[in-house]
Structure 1
């Protein structure tokens, strides 16, 4: 496609804070923020060679495990894969390769906490995408970040300032 094949008048998209008293998790890798956009934590997981679907599921599972370990009980889970959102909301997947991960996620969703699942556009998920890319360099480990890592500082600050960008829509 060429740039002329896109509608440039589409909506502007950017990261948005969670509703009051909730924390937000943006997944691929993951960023956990408070309702004012403040840094709570981050994580990156090396998943090796696998499908994008399975990598997205790993990001969700690790995010839920992480915020559970931190003691939070009101979570907005923001995922940039519509397929993963649908699988979590319906509890059904046609992908056998991700079924064990899906089962673990669904089990976590039934715990004594409130988890709202939302789709977010990739343009509003740049910090989490950068964390996922970092995860590609750390083998099969999961690394946690108590403070914002240098490699996403500019993206995190742009989110905090409310900067947005146009969402290009194919015409």
Structure 2
């Protein structure tokens, strides 16, 4: 994982945690396909000075919830997240909050909700 994608994962997590706090969620489950991010936040892993503040901010936010679970999941295990990550790469730099899922991911939501994994082909 490059430094840029590692930092991007952390920025996304921080934004998501702040949104959850803003909406008064007290139980949060977070999944990421970045094992490096999980390790950096779960342990006192060695990181670079560029992301230390971001990691500490995420840790502080995580501890502010009544229940918080953070785990690694393969990209294939959460197609919706992968879809939105790819969608974000193709859009302007901004935060987009969607009130309803785009039509094209309804099937993905159903598969994710039922734990159905679809193999990716490259």
TM-score by length of 1: 0.61
Aligned length: 119
CA RMSD of aligned residues (A): 2.3
1:94 to 1:139, Cα distance in 2 relative to 1, 3 A: same
Structure 2 unmatched ranges of 5 or more: none
What is the CA–CA distance in structure 2 between the aligned matches of 1:124 and 1:140, rounded to whole Å? 26
Structure with more strand by fraction: 1
Tell me, which stretches of 5 or more residues in structure 1 are unaligned? 1-49
Distance 1:116 1:99 in 2: 21
Q: How does 1:70-89 map to 2 (within 5 A)?
A: 70-89=23-42
Aligned to 2:99: 146
TM-score by length of structure 2 reads: 0.81
Secondary structure of 1:133's counterpart equals helix
The 1:93/1:144 distance shift into structure 2, 3 A limit, reads: farther
Residue 142 of structure 1 aligns to a residue in which SS? Answer: coil
Secondary structure (helix, strand or coil) at the match of 2:96 reads strand
Give 1 or 2 for the bigger CA radius of gyration.
Answer: 1
More helix by share: 2
Is it true that 1:113 corresponds to 2:113 in the alignment?
A: no
Give the direction of change, closer, same or farther, for the CA distance of 1:88–1:145 in structure 2 (3 Å limit).
Answer: same
Pairing 1:51-62 to 2, within 5 Å after superposition: 51-62=4-15
| 2:9 maps to 1:64 | no
Deviation at 1:166, TM superposition (A): 5.5
Q: Given that residues 82 and 119 in structure 1 are in contact (C-alpha distance below 8 angstroms), is that contact kept between their aligned partners in structure 2?
A: yes
Contact 2:14 2:58 in 1 (8 A): yes
Report if aligned partners of 1:57, 1:101 keep a CA contact under 8 Å in 2: yes
